[in-house]
Amino acid sequence: MNKREFLKNAVTLSSITLLPSAAMAFSTSKKKRLRTAHIGVGNMGGEDLSAISSHAMVDVVALCDVDANMLAAAKALHPDAKTYSDYRVMLQEMGKKIDAVVVSTPDHTHAPASMMAMEMDKPVYCQKPLTHHVTEARAMKKIAKEKNLVTQMGIQVHSFYDYKLATLMIQSGIIGKVHTVRAWSPKNWGYDGPLPEGQDPVPESLDWNLWLGTSSERPYKEGVYHPGQWRKLVDYGCGTLGDMGVHIFDTPYNALALDVPRTITTNCRKPNGFGYPEQNMVTYEFPGTEYTADTLKWVWYDGKDADKQREDLMLPGGEELHDQGAMFIGEKGRLYLPHFQMLPKVIVDGEYKEVDVEKFNLGEPVRDYDSEGKKHYHQFVDACLGTAETSAPFSYASRLTETILLGVIAGRFPNKTLHWNAESARFAEEEANQFLDAPYREF
């Protein structure tokens, strides 16, 4: 089943009348409070629920989770909210009683759930990476634009002080035109082992069919998929690049005003069809922008031996490099941005350079994650209420996600350079195009 058929089935089952145009969408109305529905309320979904509901103008009206234990924990905090295990049923039944939807499920369910909500003219806050497939990212951007919906991807660090400062510093030309970015994380959201054999009984609290959603049927194995472990696996997550990479890429990507890359080369082990490689080096070449040299080279390292011994990663005084972060390398120096909640630092001729940050008018640095962490969510709520704009809407998030996913696909062709045509949304290497999309299962 393709995406259109999935949406048509899901939406025509509904007894509600879909609003025909963005002019009638909530985003443009002047309501006073926002009624939110949350899909996936365990772990990060719990954090999302807590941050969104901490806004004074939010009423949580519906909660959905395929795991009854996760659902019960969220319900205990929001006793007035209706509960569901199937987001399709929730959206159909609640319909006009919902003003905005938050999607915090594993990656393979981001697009099916978000697109159904957007087809119903609902603003959506969706966790990162925006989607599991490139075609889905483009489809999400298209629907959001056509319906003029408020959207935000869950890259909360995007709204943090340090990242805004780094963006302004780079765009002020402090290190000149940037020719290279290096970014790294030692996290390992890969799995080099074999496909697990046999199957385990599905826990009573879990609806495995709904967890699989639009992905293929597969027997349940304890500790392999739910919760959290799915990010290591090609059918559900996007490996370390799609997990930490999205956060760490975000600032350089935004600061340098990049579009999608022209070439991508991933150095890693051979694909095994089940888990992502446990170590990856991904090299992108981007077309130049006003903040870069004619082309920009970007190198990402992940896994326990992420290569940090490069000359252009050496810090003054032999200081140890932070375990995660990014280095911008320009014609006049380097800008070092550890991840996260640490100030960006400029390095010129091997020494840290004092920078007068007052001229960037950002106020005092914020170091309190609790207040800083809520900003991105509250911005979404305020945008839905018509008093703000989101800073990571799907128009931006889809580009960033596409870039990430192209690196993930290149991992299926280790050490081979893939050439991406942004206009046709196809690789020159025909064998890679099959990984841009996947059929949706009827469930």
Ligand X SMILES: NC(=O)c1ccc[n+]([C@@H]2O[C@H](COP(=O)([O-])OP(=O)(O)OC[C@H]3O[C@@H](n4cnc5c(N)ncnc54)[C@H](O)[C@@H]3O)[C@@H](O)[C@H]2O)c1
The CA distance from 285 to 403, in Å, is: 11
The CA distance from 81 to 69, in Å, is: 16
287 part of the interface to ligand X, by CB under 6 A: no
Q: Which of residues 399-438 bind ligand X (CB under 6 A)?
A: none
What lies within 8 Å, CB to CB, of 136 at 6+ separation is: 3, 110, 111, 115, 130, 437
Stretch that binds ligand X, among 66-74, 185-193, 300-308, 425-433 (CB under 6 A): 66-74
Between 130 and 175, name the residue whose CB sits nearer to ligand X.
Answer: 130
Interface pick for ligand X out of 6, 26, 87, 286 (rule CB under 6 A): 87
Least distance in angstroms from the C-beta of 363 to ligand X: 24
Between 228 and 271, name the residue whose CB sits nearer to ligand X.
Answer: 228
Q: 144-183 burial, b for 16+ CB within 10 Å, e for fewer?
A: beebebbbbbbbbbbbbbbbbbbbbbbeeebbebbbbbbb
Least distance in angstroms from the C-beta of 74 to ligand X: 9
Stretch that binds ligand X, among 34-42, 169-177, 261-269, 419-427 (CB under 6 A): 34-42
Query: Max CA-CA distance within the chain?
Result: 67
The residue number whose beta carbon is nearest to ligand X equals: 42
Interface pick for ligand X out of 37, 102, 107, 267 (rule CB under 6 A): 107
Interface pick for ligand X out of 12, 28, 29, 43 (rule CB under 6 A): 43
CB 304 within 8 A of CB 311: no
Cis ω on the peptide bond leading into residue 129 (within 30° of 0)? yes
Between 214 and 265, name the residue whose CB sits nearer to ligand X.
Answer: 214
7 part of the interface to ligand X, by CB under 6 A: no
What lies within 8 Å, CB to CB, of 82 at 6+ separation is: 61, 62, 63, 90, 93, 94
Interface pick for ligand X out of 34, 40, 137, 267 (rule CB under 6 A): 40
67 part of the interface to ligand X, by CB under 6 A: yes
Least distance in angstroms from the C-beta of 293 to ligand X: 31
CB 411 within 8 A of CB 276: yes
Least distance in angstroms from the C-beta of 211 to ligand X: 5
65 part of the interface to ligand X, by CB under 6 A: yes
190 part of the interface to ligand X, by CB under 6 A: no
The CA distance from 186 to 303, in Å, is: 5
Stretch that binds ligand X, among 65-73, 216-224, 321-329, 434-442 (CB under 6 A): 65-73
For residue 36, the surrounding DSSP H or E stretch is: strand 34-39
CB 326 within 8 A of CB 181: yes
128 part of the interface to ligand X, by CB under 6 A: yes
Least distance in angstroms from the C-beta of 43 to ligand X: 3
CB 118 within 8 A of CB 144: yes
Interface pick for ligand X out of 7, 53, 106, 409 (rule CB under 6 A): 106
The CA distance from 285 to 297, in Å, is: 5
Helix axes 68-77, 44-53, angle to 10 degrees: 20
Least distance in angstroms from the C-beta of 66 to ligand X: 4
Least distance in angstroms from the C-beta of 165 to ligand X: 20
Q: Which of residues 224-283 bind ligand X (CB under 6 A)?
A: 226-228, 243
Q: How far is CA 86 from CA 17, 43, 113, 130, in A?
A: 20, 18, 10, 20
Between 47 and 285, name the residue whose CB sits nearer to ligand X.
Answer: 47
Question: Comparing C-alpha atoms, which of 92, 266, 278, 123 is closest to residue 185?
Answer: 278
The CA distance from 212 to 226, in Å, is: 10
Interface pick for ligand X out of 181, 210, 241, 410 (rule CB under 6 A): 210
The site for ligand X (CB under 6 A) is made up of: 39-45, 64-67, 70, 87, 104-107, 109, 127-128, 154, 156, 210-211, 213, 226-228, 243
